[in-house]
Chains A and B, each alone.
Chain A
Amino acid sequence: MRAFDELRKLEIFFKEESNRGCSIVELYELVQHAGNILPRLYLLCTVGSVYIRSKEAPAKDVLKDLIEMCRGIQHPVRGLFLRSYLSQVSRDKLPDIGSEYEGDADTAMDAVEFVLQNFTEMNKLWVRMQHQGPARDKEKREKERSELRDLVGKNLHVLSQIEGVDLDMYRETVLPRVLEQVVNCKDEIAQYYLMDCVIQVFPDEYHLQTLETILGACPQLQPSVDIKTVLARLMERLSNYAASSAEVLPVFFQVEAFAKLNIAIGKVIEAQDDMPVYGAVTLYASLLTFILHVHPDRLDYVDQILGACVKKLSGKGKLDDSKATKQIVALLSAPLDKYKDIDTALKLSNYPRVMEHLDNGTNKEMSNVIIQSIMKNRTYISTAEKVEALFELIKGLIKDIDENHQDELDEDDFKEEQNSVARLIQLLYTDDTEEMMKIIHTVRKHILTGGPKRLPFTVPPFTFSALKLVRRLQSQNENVSGEEAAATPKDIFQILMQTIEALSSVPVPELALGLYLQCAEAANDCDLEPVAYEFFTQAYILYEEEISDSKAQVTSIHLIIGTLQRMHVFGVENRDTLTHKATGYSSKLLKKPDQCRAVYACSHLFWLDEHNDMKDGERVMLCLKRALRIANAAQQMANASRGSSGSVVLFIEILNKYLYFYEKGVLQVTIDSIQSLIELIKQEMSGENTTADLSADAFFASTLRYIQFQKDKGGVVAEKYSPIKAEFAETS
């Protein structure tokens, strides 16, 4: 290339010479006497360039002469560089339409001829390189060829720049001539490179109009050419072109682009029987992208491509080839990305069939992709039919497909996977209660096939989905009276009972207990006493038989008492049974402080604010007194085992409860009882063996402050509180 720069200086020299009166024609003759042919030709081209510029002869004549002369060099590399030089110097001097060198012709035909000829000769030289030299140097030669390929390709670039080359000339002359050379040279490297070049260099509008021609050349190429990449690139360009503006789309329809591409791809795949699977899939994937850009509304085209893919894959079972599976995942993800709504993908009948060919791991991966797509677009899946289709697609996540082949899945990954399924269940929803009921049935059917590993993840979201439906039915029934509702809360509760029961196979008793209690509360709101009672029974059974961990027991007790406290649907007998059991459980907790707290929590079971018939002051006080006894026992235990008295916190808590019920008007909570408890606390806190407990001190202080606040309020409240003596305790 440096030589070219030097030659440029030479050119400038020649020009100056000619300006000084030396005739350019003479110069032209003169250089032809140079000794060696190669320098002679370089000089000739240089002078020729000045000659053309001087306009003393028409450009086309000089160019014709030069290109004939260059025939003198048949050595491939030298010839390539020489012709490349010729191309370079002639570039701005072509007799193009509108150029100053146009001459009297009205077309760019001469320019085109010139470039085409140069191209053809250069290609021949380039191909010839392949066959020069011994066979063992083949690799080296091919590398060299690869480095020089741009020299050949430049010509095509020049062709594309010629103004006079319009669509007609391209279609009639340029393309056919180029393709002729490409096909005839029968050289794999050249064919691949040049096809690609043609596609990249000429405008997309031209490609659309000459689709048949260029596609027609494809089967004529050497079988070893990577034609699928070429086709893929062509489709990519056309896809982008389609995406660039809506105005070009009608052209696509007009030339029946899809049909032609489809046929071409079919032919290629048929012809290259040994094409690896991933190659075929890549082609289909590119064509699919094309369809999504150009004919997004033609789901039948999309399905057609998927069908062709299935056909190609049929008989191959589950694929082992990771390149192929990657391509299939890309193929399947494309419609998801394009049609934000999963509904559309569900309509493609061949979609699940393609998924069948993925190995288990990739199948799950694809299922995850589908779920992520749904969640990203927050689309609700609104009919049971669609839910069925969706679950069929992602069945790898829902259950163990292959009984014998246990997936070695990392525990964390498995959790993540199942949590995605759980989140998906939240998105299966419709406002239509009848349809929603069908969805509930469908979901249930599928999750029960999941086995003990999956149930803890899928049953809770299912439960809450069903409970939400119960609520909706409740408000519906209020409006629509006298009509037979197709689905009733009772039906749903039955389903829930059976489904939560399935958790016992895992087992996860705490989770199941929580769910039973949720259902009990919902049944309470529907005034279904027997149903609520049954749920409580199941919860209690779990507590008695399955929950033995102390911490779990405490939480479960809180849930039981908290839920029971809100029940209003129970008759006296049922209520008594349940509260009796609850208080029993409370007093049997292992640690005394837990016992104490649970027992005084039970006191609330006997005082419901909104229901005057559920206010039993005596039993409230019984609970509180019992709690006090437990607190005392705890103190004694601490004394005996550690030699110092334990914390007075429990007493303070009970004191607060006294105040709570006193304010509510429970007569059994007398001023005396409050007062004596305060004294007890003060005593305990100032005792000799007492360990200082800052938090208990603070608690007591804030309690006394509270009493003072109430006194300061005035009115009825102040009256209640005034008899209570509660000065701040002295800290020893």
Chain B
Amino acid sequence: MVLVLALGDLHIPHRASDLPPKFKSMLVPGKIQHIVCTGNLCIKEVHDYLKTVCPDLHIARGEYDEETRYPETKTLTIGQFKLGVCHGHQVIPWGDLDSLAMLQRQLDVDILVTGHTHQFTAYKHEAGVVINPGSATGSYSSITYDVNPSFVLMDIDGLRVVVYVYELIDGEVKVDKIDFKKTTTSNA
């Protein structure tokens, strides 16, 4: 059982002052094995904070990130799954699932994690899953109205991944979960 935290678009300090206290108290160091971050942190303090939650931190660059050396895309393998991370402002039209699926094919990954729209989505298609963990601080987005703070926790176990989405709605943390099973792909 491997826990992977997926979050992004915090936009601290441009659009938000801090993570919601209820989220902060949930992100306890030592419980999570990997973090994939879709970008737009934006400052070093946030990077350092995420590092304390889990040292294995993978970040893709968002357009407002202070650190210009984050990569545009990143791929990594966790257990049986190949994951890809990309902020998503590079994929036009923004938020378009078919275009994101194309990126997924290009990176050749089972799970693609992207952001930019600040809207949580989990889109399953034949070749895999596209997950958008939304904005962890619920910050303003030109694309989405009424953003609720949200993040995703993936539990990878063998060929199965359970995606837990945590959303802060009206001051209460609500959890939902989605199951995905990977069929072993036939190689050419």
Residues of A within 8 A of B (CB): 375, 378, 415-416, 419-420, 422-427, 457, 460-461, 464, 467-468, 471, 511, 514, 518, 521-522, 525, 551, 555, 558-559, 561-563, 565-566, 601, 604, 649, 652-653, 656-657, 660, 663, 695, 698-699, 701-703, 705-706, 709, 728-729, 731
Contact = CB atoms under 8 A, between A and B. Distances in A.
A419 B188 contact: no
Contacts of A416: 45
B14 A464 contact: yes
24 contacts: A375-B18, A415-B43, A416-B45, A422-B13, A424-B17, A461-B13, A461-B14, A467-B140, A468-B140, A471-B145, A514-B64, A562-B94, A565-B92, A565-B93, A566-B142, A649-B106, A653-B102, A660-B102, A699-B105, A702-B108, A705-B126, A706-B105, A706-B127, A728-B188
A420 B12 CA distance: 10
Given A660-B98, A731-B188, A702 B17 contact: no
A427 B90 CA distance: 31
Contacts of B145: 471
Contacts of B101: 706
B124 interface: no
Interface in B70-115: 89-90, 92-94, 98-99, 101-102, 105-106, 108
Contacts, number: 106
B21 interface: yes
B17 A426 contact: yes
Given A420-B13, A426-B16, A656-B105, 16 more contacts: A416-B45, A419-B43, A422-B14, A423-B12, A423-B13, A423-B17, A471-B145, A555-B89, A562-B94, A566-B93, A566-B94, A653-B106, A695-B106, A699-B105, A703-B105, A709-B126
B15 interface: yes
Given A656-B102, A709-B126, A562 B188 contact: no
Nearest to B61: A555
Contacts of B92: 558, 561-562, 565, 601, 604
Contacts of A551: 68
| Residue of B15, B18, B92, B143 with most partner-chain A CB within 10 A | B92
B157 interface: no
Contacts of A709: 125-127
A207 to B, nearest CB: 41
Q: Lowest 8 A-B CB distances belong to which pairs?
A: A422-B13, A423-B17, A426-B17, A521-B142, A702-B105, A460-B14, A698-B108, A709-B126
Contacts of B11: 464
Contacts of B90: 558
A464 B17 contact: no
B97 to A, nearest CB: 11
Given A422-B13, A522-B142, A728-B188, A705 B89 contact: no
A427 B105 contact: no
B27 to A, nearest CB: 17
A558 B126 CA distance: 28
A472 to B, nearest CB: 11
A378 B21 contact: yes
B14 to A, nearest CB: 4
Given A461-B14, A464-B14, A660 B108 contact: no
B93 A660 contact: no
A666 to B, nearest CB: 13
B63 A514 contact: yes
A547 to B, nearest CB: 13
A698 B110 CA distance: 13
Contacts of B140: 464, 467-468, 471
Given A426-B13, A522-B142, A566-B93, A699 B106 contact: yes
Interface string B8-42: 00011111111001000000000000000000000
A660 to B, nearest CB: 6
B127 A705 contact: yes
B13 to A, nearest CB: 4
Interface in B111-155: 125-127, 139-140, 142-143, 145
A303 B23 CA distance: 38
Contacts of B21: 378
A586 to B, nearest CB: 11
Nearest to A696: B106
A367 to B, nearest CB: 16
A699 B18 contact: no
B89 A558 contact: yes
A562 B93 contact: yes
Given A521-B142, A559-B89, A566-B93, A419 B13 contact: yes
B42 to A, nearest CB: 9
B91 to A, nearest CB: 9
| Residue of B14, B106, B145 with most partner-chain A CB within 10 A | B14
Contacts of A566: 93-94, 142-143
A18 B98 CA distance: 109
| Residue of B18, B89, B99, B188 with most partner-chain A CB within 10 A | B188
Contacts of A461: 13-15
B115 to A, nearest CB: 13
| Residue of B17, B21, B94, B140 with most partner-chain A CB within 10 A | B17
